Amino acid sequence: MQTPPPFDYERAASVDDAIALLERYGPESRLLAGGQSLLPMMKLRLARPEVLIDVNDLTELSYIRVDGDVIRLGALTRHRDLLESSLLAEHYPIVADAERVIADPLVRNRGSLGGSLCQADPSEDLSAVFAAVQAACVIRGSSGERVVPIREFHRGPYETALEPAEMLVEVRFPVRPGCGSAYEKVERRAGDWGMAAAGAFVRLEAGRIAEAGVGLTAVGAEHHCSRSAEEVLRGREPTEEVLAAAGAAAAGDVRPTTDQRGPASYKRHLAGELTQRALRRAVSRAREA
C-alpha cells in the first residue's frame, strides 16, 4: 500500500485562522478540504506538503445562494450539493450536467468546489464549466480580498493565481435571463477523467446569440476555453452552420496529447463534436428559458 510522506497537521477554526496558518508555515503548507485530489498525489509522492491545514470545519464557505443578480458558491461546497441544487438547475444546468459525470458518489460526497479548481488538473471538469459561464474567483489573504476571472485563475497545469498565503473562498457569476448552458463529455469508463469534454453557454436576444462561452477540458485548451469559437457565435443566429463553425474553431484552439486515453487526433475531433453538441443543448435550453 502506498502511503504519503510524513507531514504535520493543523485544523483551521476560521478563514482568518487558515490564512494565518498558511502565513506561518509558508509555501510548503497546503489546505485540505475533501482531499480527493491532494491525498492520492501525496500517496504517489507527486505532492509533498510539510503541513496540511484542514479547513473542513469552515462551514461558512459551504453555500449556494443568490445575492441580487449574482450567484455565489462557497469554495467548500461539495460536488453533491452542486449536483442537487435546484437554484443551479434553474439558471445554469451545465453544472449538474458536469457533476453527473464527475468521478463517483463517494468522491462527490467529499470533494469540494474549491479543491477541484485549486488542483488545476488539465482534465478537471468544473474548470471548463466556469470558463464557459465566465465566472470569477474571490481570493482572500491577510491584506483582504481580490477578484480574479476564472480564465486568469488557471495559469497552467496544476498552477493557479493563488499566492502562498491566499485561499479561494468563493466563485461567483451573474444571473442572466434568456440563457442556456450544457456540458458534454466522453470518458473511457464512468467516473474517469474525460478523453475530452466541452461546456457551452449562450444568451439569446431577438433570436441571436448576444453572449457565448465555450469551455474545454482534457484537450490542452488555453485557460480551458475557446475564444475563437465564441467569436464565431456572437451576434449570429444559432443555425447548424454557425454551430458547426464554432465546433471547428474550438477544434483549432486545442492542443491535445496522445496518451492512454486516446490519440491526439481523436481528442481534437471530440473537442469540435462535443462543442457542437453542448451548443445545441444550450441553445435549446435558452429558447425554453
- Residue 146: predicted pLDDT: 98
Q: Measure the CA angle with vertex 73, ends 67 and 74; round to 5°.
A: 115
Cell 456540458, residue?
Answer: 183
pLDDT for the residue numbered 1: 58
Instruction: Give residue-wise pLDDT tens across range 169-226.
Output: 999 999 999 999 999 999 987 777 889 999 999 999 999 999 999 999 999 999 999 9
Query: What CA–CA distance (Å, rounded) separates 17 from 7?
Result: 19
Of 106-115, 187-196, 204-213, 227-236, which range is least confident?
187-196
In the numeric block, the cell 510539510 is attached to: 50
Provide, rounded to the nearest whole percent, the portion of the chain with pLDDT above 70: 100
Tell me what pLDDT residue 105 has: 85
**Integer Rg of the chain from CA:** 19
Banded pLDDT at 40 (limits 50, 70, 90): confident
Report how far residue 250's alpha carbon sits from residue 147's, in angstroms, rounded to the nearest whole number. 27
How many residues would you count in the chain?
289
- pLDDT over 70 at 236, yes or no: yes
Instruction: Say which residues have a Cβ less than 8 Å from residue 174's Cβ, sequence separation at least 6.
Output: 69, 70, 71
Residue 233 backbone dihedrals phi, psi, to 5 degrees: -85, -35
Mean pLDDT value across the chain: 95
In one letter, which amino acid is 115?
A: G
Question: Which residue shows C-alpha cell 479561494?
Answer: 168
Which of 188, 197, 228 has its CA nearest to residue 128? 197
Cβ distance 135 to 82 under 8 Å?
no
Q: How many CA atoms lie within 13 A of 34 on its CB side?
A: 23
Residue 46 has pLDDT above 90, yes or no: no
Domains located in the chain, CATH noted: 8-54 (3.30.43.10), 59-174 (3.30.465.10), 179-288 (3.30.390.50)
Q: How far apart are CA 101 and CA 209, in angstroms?
A: 28
Residue 4 confidence (pLDDT): 87
Band (163; pLDDT cuts 50, 70, 90): very high
Lowest mean pLDDT among 46-50, 152-156, 231-235: 46-50
